[in-house]
Chains A and B, each alone.
Chain A
């Protein structure tokens, strides 16, 4: 969680209050959702950026009318994060939503919304990967996958990244399987010689003999 210094907090709270008085209540931005679905072919919902899958409007946890005073203050600060680099911890956004405002700023975000939602990926850059799955958040946005879940991403990208990440584990399980099969082969060779009378014509496999 990013935290702000007290003077900055006071200043931004005042600014946010002024803006709230002048502007209508902020709603979710369905333009982004529609773009992602069109671009990726995957179904997405408000949970891509918001705390609640049905968006910010409502009375359920993570929606505006459920917020207490402290959460409302954090919401107002997030709404006032017009420039990139602001610390954002909105109660109605998830970590990816916070990261968007932190990296892009509300002003640029609203510009992108009214021009081309695809530009959000460029604005996010490629160095942010909140879930650590090796797929940049911007790519996950374009592909309609969950940027906060390391178990969710485009299957081929996850496959490639995880093969690289778990190279050592895979090598170990291959070695373990090979050793297990080698031991089993020898064990059964001995047991076969011991328990199948027909096989006793052959010499016992004590010298490391294996099954054909």
Chain B
């Protein structure tokens, strides 16, 4: 009996841990707030976050991205993308890498479409990152445009 109860309690407390995959067409980067940081700026310096609140030190930067509560972007939106800009630029230039995979996951791109996504981004490097001053907003807008033009990727941004 105790075992069943225990299982019940556990089940109840763990169901919400298996929410939707991060990202998805109904939320996505467009909903996030960016601080307008230049992509290349993120290359340099330890991005120290001074004066973080307790919530921030516990991974909770959400609540500002407007997505976390419905479970679509479960991943500290703003901080993550701004933070990843540097690595993302590198990976798009090379056409592969962990940052590119992470961004694909956040956009909800299925594993089987990841290589299509990577090469589409790679071929359009100059469009996505036209200058060193490009902002995260512009990068996202350009990425969406590139995806919309690709037959395999269009439905992710549709």
Chains A and B bind each other: no
Which residues in B have some Cβ–Cβ distance to A below 8 Å? Answer: none
